[in-house]
Structure 1
């Protein structure tokens, strides 16, 4: 066979193979680019975040991987901003509602005082109601400011060694009259030697919110038991009542801000337990809750001796 003919045939096959390779490569790259364009379009349209296949090779694989990482990061940031904005809108709406209610009552009482047709007893009731609503707004604003300071990490805590009994006795003394009126017994079994390292003022606020919550949901003839014990790791405080209990549906949400469960007091602002949890967490502690409807509720607080939480 003519060697020149053989060479021409071989050269022809090589050229044909190159043409086929180039065509196939262009088709493959076009397919990969189409997939990238489709992926980016879905991300731009904010659909469910799509999966990106890894059939590509070489530089195209690196490009696809980097685009996926960038899109994932942007998607997470976008989702986080949406959640933050939604939370802020809901919080502002709740704050507005919480302040609007007492302000409406104050306006009504003020109008009643202005008309001059009230006797002395009615005037005193109006003034007492205005004072009560003003105190409520003051407490609400102070609580919200405290939550904001805790969130920002700027709440100043003056920690010292404080007997748990000293904190509990002060709270119980403050609500004794209300408990007597409701016919609810408060039993305290806290050893004098149990001490915690905390800011007494703020820890008292936290414990007070929890105990008052128990008192609010305990019927006449019921009881609240407060006890503590010390371990090598922590001081554990237990606040137990035999009140109405919390439903399974509400239990996971009771520490959320502005949350109102099925059995919440209509006048409740939904901040007390949330504030208590934030204060306890900020002082190296944890809080948990167990409850059963019709039987009662148990709050377990652990204040750790060293920074373990």
Structure 2
């Protein structure tokens, strides 16, 4: 409708100009009409080209909505549509990045779910077997008590795995808000030792502390205590009866360190780069665990701007070093 109105106005103007020119000279009027017709044809061609280009851009947008990833906007880099095409290009680039991230997260969630299912399958099978054995009338009271103790341990491990996975997922989804407060390392280490002291006592492992001065850092005491508790649990598990787990802490002008070391067999050198990977299970070091505690500890520390690294110590044993810097580096 707008184009028809525009053409009608153009024809009226041409007719009026031709009438005026005819008053002076017929050839002048003819020339005016021809020039006006040529201008109208040229205008229509340009308008058609712009319309075709706009329609092609609409088709490209439609292809993007259908997840076509091989569309280029280079042909729109010049002309009236250049600004619009540039903004659409930015939008599609961002959408592709988000789509790739969603696919990655979907794959990660699928693998994590498969890993959890696999990790729970073995203890669940053991639980079912123990429940079947407990009902046997031939069991003595001592045997039944032993089976109940094993059942409790299995259920406790399963509970720990589920809670740890939920906490890890919340941290990775940025759903956890870490507090920033002055954390006293002496008090923090004392709280962390309480969570591992029973296991250490039952296994005959001695937990010692070597704290120099009164070290502090800025962070979240609750989650950091969970991280240290996981590291202590790991150290106790890999220390033989009669061995020692030592927690050392000190502070400098640059950082505050907390080191958890043990007198176990250490970590195979080839596996040190992978020890913090989720569900990584060493042929020797993590063969009896779920492979999630160390990943959880590192996620907590790094989420607060700290560092956590693993190393071996001489003559034997492993050490996990937590470092919180006083300033961002």
Partner of 2:65: 44
1:285–1:303: 8 Å Cα contact kept in structure 2? yes
Q: 1:149 & 1:198 partners in 2: Cα distance?
A: 18
1:131 to 152, 172, 179: 152
CA 1:203 to 1:129, structure 2 compared with 1: closer, same or farther past 3 Å? Answer: same
Of 267-276 and 170-179, the range deviating more from structure 2: 170-179
1:251 to 273, 288, 306: 273
Q: 2:71 & 2:108 partners in 1: Cα distance?
A: 26
Alignment of 1:231-270 (within 5 A): 231-239=252-260, 243-245=266-268, 247=270, 251=273, 254-256=276-278, 258-260=279-281, 263=284, 265-270=286-291
**TM superposition score normalised by structure 1:** 0.70
2:276–2:298: 8 Å Cα contact kept in structure 1? no
Q: 2:318 & 2:66 partners in 1: Cα distance?
A: 47
Q: 1:297 & 1:46 partners in 2: Cα distance?
A: 50
Shift of residue 86, structure 1, vs aligned partner: 3.9
SS of equivalent to 2:320: strand
Shift of residue 6, structure 1, vs aligned partner: 7.8
Partner of 1:153: 176
Shift of residue 136, structure 1, vs aligned partner: 1.1
Partner of 1:287: 307
Q: 2:239 & 2:202 partners in 1: Cα distance?
A: 12
Partner of 2:249: 228
1:115 aligns with 2:144: no
1:106 aligns with 2:130: no
Q: 1:238 & 1:114 partners in 2: Cα distance?
A: 47
1:193 to 214, 226, 233: 214
2:226 to 189, 195, 205: 205
**TM superposition score normalised by structure 2:** 0.66
Q: 1:93 & 1:244 partners in 2: Cα distance?
A: 27
SS of equivalent to 2:295: helix
Q: 2:181 & 2:123 partners in 1: Cα distance?
A: 33
CA 1:159 to 1:124, structure 2 compared with 1: closer, same or farther past 3 Å? Answer: farther
Shift of residue 108, structure 1, vs aligned partner: 0.3
SS of equivalent to 1:193: coil
2:79 to 57, 65, 70: 57
SS of equivalent to 2:133: helix
Q: How many residues align?
A: 297
Of 75-84 and 169-178, the range deviating more from structure 2: 169-178
Unaligned runs of 5+ in 2: 1-24
Q: 1:226 & 1:305 partners in 2: Cα distance?
A: 21
Partner of 1:34: 56
Larger radius of gyration: 2
